[in-house]
């Protein structure tokens, strides 16, 4: 519109100029022409300014549009982020709901199963009532007593299983429970194996010289040492029998010296026995000191060291008791270090736990209590006395170290290869174990495995249910404890298995 206005003005000016030139002459025409040119220049300048303003305004509008677009994008991005967070929050809320839904479904299934069992029980009760209706009073009474007995037995087994499960779950809080071996027992057919030593002779001719004229030499040796000498048909051997292992060693050493010396008569026997006794006492002292030094204990009473050294000549099922005491001390110390107990107390308790065996043939009572009395007599603390006295269950353990020493004692005595027994004794023990286990009702088979350290019992599934096997394992273990003699501990495992077999034809 502006341009058109300018063009119109130019045409008007041109017409005016032409008229003026025609009427007012050439000078006036030129003036008019100049005025028209000025108007045209001004119009061109105005056009350019307006064009620039239009471009600038367009740029401003474009810039504002871009800023507005960026702001809208930012708002959209923030909305997307909020929606994403809300979606994640919803997903986190949905997951517990899904778990709860699955749990509810599982509980509904369990309720359906319980309902089915209840219906089955109701049906069975109805059948029982129908059966009772045709029974006599005595028959009904007997049936009722049998039913109550079975239900009570199942309830008792269920309670036992729940208690054992709870004990297993809280085992860490009940770590003080004592782990012991059975108290050592000696059978009559084991006495000779445990209480005798054999001295080899160069020839059978020496047997007559050992016996002497009228048996004076053998009587002199037996009276001097306090042992029994058995001279029988065993070729080139004499057997020394005594419940005191130190006396047996003195007699063995003295008899060996007499055989090497060749002079065997009552006077010489007394001299050699005294010398052998001094040598054995020296060995006992050395062994006791070596054991104390090896374990790392200081300040022990000399009499306790002597009693400890006497364990060198004491064995249990072939296991040397002094070596067993060393092992127990080291094991107890390592376990005390693991659980944060008193390492020194565990060491000393482990080393002295069987000290009562050095004198238990002279004093009545279990060797654990005897050892506790000996330790108390020589000024040991009440805690250490309890550690020694409680390692076989004769006293309740009053400290963690007492439990650790009992466990270490069981580990040292029960580990494979620690102890041995004769083949005849071993076979008798295995057979006796299987006979005791097989004496219960409902047992199909039973096997003694792992050298008699475990008895596995296979029951008849139609006679014994899953709850009853718990009580059966306890009954078998109790009967084994009451009737058998064995080293270490015996694991009782009861197995119940039901198989269903069919054939596709």
Q: What is the CATH number of the domain that holds 341?
A: 1.10.3210.10
Give yes or no for residue 158 having a pLDDT over 50. Answer: yes
- Percentage of residues of the chain with pLDDT beyond 70: 76
Bridging pattern class, strands 443-449 and 315-316 = unpaired
Last residue of a domain, one of 57, 84, 115: 115
Whole-number pLDDT of residue 85? 86
Same domain, yes or no: 65 and 12: yes
Mean pLDDT of the region 299-328: 83
For 177-238, the three-class secondary structure string (H helix, E strand, C coil) is CCCCCCCCCCCHHHHHHHCEEEEECCCCHHHHHHHCHHHHHHHHHHHHHCCEEECCCCCCEE
Same domain, yes or no: 378 and 438: no
Mean pLDDT of the region 115-141: 70
Q: Would 125 be classed as within a structural domain?
A: no
The pTM score is 0.47
Same domain, yes or no: 405 and 452: no
Give yes or no for residue 69 having a pLDDT over 70. Answer: yes
Q: Give CA–CA dist 433/174, Å, rounded.
A: 31
Last residue of a domain, one of 75, 98, 115: 115
Q: Would 446 be classed as within a structural domain?
A: yes
Question: What Rg, from alpha-carbon coordinates, does the chain have?
Answer: 53
DSSP string, 107-124: HHHHHHHHHHHHHHHHHH
pLDDT by residue (tens digit) across 363-416?
677 888 888 899 899 888 999 999 998 888 778 888 889 888 888 887 776 654
Q: Would 322 be classed as within a structural domain?
A: yes
Number of domains making up the chain:
3
Same domain, yes or no: 12 and 109: yes
Confidence of residue 128 (pLDDT cuts 50, 70, 90): low
Mean pLDDT of the region 442-456: 84
Same domain, yes or no: 397 and 431: no
Q: Would 28 be classed as within a structural domain?
A: yes
Whole-number pLDDT of residue 178? 31
pLDDT by residue (tens digit) across 17-56?
665 556 555 555 566 677 877 888 888 888 888 888 888 8
Same domain, yes or no: 7 and 111: yes
Same domain, yes or no: 390 and 433: no
Whole-number pLDDT of residue 26? 59
pLDDT by residue (tens digit) across 46-66?
888 888 888 888 888 888 888
Tokens of 401: 């170290």
Which has more confidence, 142 or 151?
A: 142
Whole-number pLDDT of residue 362? 60
Same domain, yes or no: 394 and 482: no
Q: 147 φ, ψ to 5°?
A: -65, -45
pLDDT by residue (tens digit) across 201-239?
777 777 777 788 888 888 888 888 888 878 777 777 888
Confidence of residue 183 (pLDDT cuts 50, 70, 90): very low
Q: Would 42 be classed as within a structural domain?
A: yes
Cα distances (Å, whole numbers) of residue 236 to 87, 198, 206, 207, 312: 97, 10, 8, 8, 27
Q: Tell me 386's DSSP state.
A: H
Same domain, yes or no: 358 and 448: no
- Percentage of residues of the chain with pLDDT beyond 90: 3
Q: Give CA–CA dist 224/218, Å, rounded.
A: 10
Which has more confidence, 355 or 153?
A: 355
**CATH code for position 442:** 3.30.300.30
Mean pLDDT of the region 71-93: 86
Rounded to a whole number of angstroms, the distance between the first and last alpha carbons of the chain is 106
Same domain, yes or no: 389 and 443: no
Closest CA to 156 of 479, 471, 493, 472: 471
Which has more confidence, 270 or 27?
A: 270
Q: Would 329 be classed as within a structural domain?
A: yes
Q: Would 184 be classed as within a structural domain?
A: no
Same domain, yes or no: 9 and 107: yes
Last residue of a domain, one of 91, 115, 139: 115
Q: Tell me 446's DSSP state.
A: E
Given a contact cutoff of 8 angstroms between Cβ atoms, the answer to whether 259 and 202 are in contact is yes
Tokens of 270: 């007394």
Same domain, yes or no: 454 and 366: no
Q: Would 459 be classed as within a structural domain?
A: yes
Count of all residues that appear for the chain in the document: 505
Which residue range is the domain that position 385 belongs to?
316-409
Give yes or no for residue 435 having a pLDDT over 50. Answer: yes
Q: Give CA–CA dist 61/477, Å, rounded.
A: 98
């Amino acid at each position: 519109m502006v341009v058109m206005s300018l063009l119109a003005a130019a045409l008007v000016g041109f017409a005016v100029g032409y008229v003026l030139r025609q009427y007012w002459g050439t000078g006036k025409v030129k003036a008019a022409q100049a005025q028209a040119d000025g108007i045209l220049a001004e119009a061109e300048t105005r056009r350019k300014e307006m064009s620039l303003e239009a471009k600038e305004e367009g740029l401003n509008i474009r810039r504002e549009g871009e800023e507005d677009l960026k702001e809208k994008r930012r708002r959209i991005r923030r909305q997307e982020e909020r929606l994403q967070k809300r979606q994640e929050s919803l997903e986190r809320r949905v997951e517990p709901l899904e778990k709860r839904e699955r749990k509810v479904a599982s509980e509904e299934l369990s309720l359906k199963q319980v309902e089915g069992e209840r219906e089955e029980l109701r049906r069975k009760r109805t059948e029982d009532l129908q059966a009772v209706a045709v029974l006599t009073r005595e028959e009904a009474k007997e049936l009722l007593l049998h039913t109550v007995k079975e239900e009570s037995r199942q309830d008792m087994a269920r309670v036992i299983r729940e208690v054992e499960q709870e004990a297993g779950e809280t085992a860490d809080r009940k770590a003080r429970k004592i782990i012991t071996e059975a108290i050592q027992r000696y059978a009559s057919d084991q006495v000779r194996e445990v209480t005798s030593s054999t001295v080899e002779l160069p020839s059978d001719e020496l047997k007559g010289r050992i016996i002497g004229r009228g048996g004076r030499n053998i009587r002199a040796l037996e009276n001097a040492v306090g042992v029994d000498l058995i001279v029988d048909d065993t070729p080139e051997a004499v057997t020394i029998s005594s419940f005191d292992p130190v006396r047996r060693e003195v007699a063995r050493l003295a008899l060996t010296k007499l055989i090497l010396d060749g002079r065997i008569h009552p006077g010489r026997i007394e001299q050699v026995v005294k010398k052998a006794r001094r040598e054995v006492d020296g060995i006992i002292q050395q062994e006791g000191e070596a054991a104390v030094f090896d374990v790392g204990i200081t300040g022990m009473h000399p009499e306790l060291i002597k009693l400890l050294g006497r364990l060198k000549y004491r064995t249990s099922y072939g296991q040397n008791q002094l070596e067993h005491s060393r092992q127990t001390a080291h094991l107890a110390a390592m376990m005390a270090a693991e659980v944060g107990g008193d390492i020194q107390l565990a060491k000393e308790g482990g080393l002295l736990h069987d000290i009562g065996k050095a004198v238990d043939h002279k004093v009545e009572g279990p060797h654990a209590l005897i050892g506790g009395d000996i330790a108390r007599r020589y000024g040991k603390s009440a805690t250490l006395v309890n550690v020694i006295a409680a390692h076989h269950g004769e006293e309740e353990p009053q400290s963690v170290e007492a439990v650790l020493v009992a466990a270490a004692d069981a580990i040292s005595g029960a580990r494979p290869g620690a102890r041995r027994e004769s083949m005849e004794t071993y076979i008798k023990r295995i057979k006796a174990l299987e006979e005791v286990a097989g004496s219960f009702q409902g047992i199909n088979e039973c096997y003694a495995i792992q050298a008699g350290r475990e008895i596995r019992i296979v029951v008849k599934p139609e006679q014994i249910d899953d709850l009853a096997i718990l009580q059966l394992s306890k009954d078998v273990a109790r009967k084994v404890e009451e009737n058998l003699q064995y080293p270490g501990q015996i694991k009782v495992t009861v197995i119940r298995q039901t198989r269903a077999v069919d054939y596709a034809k």
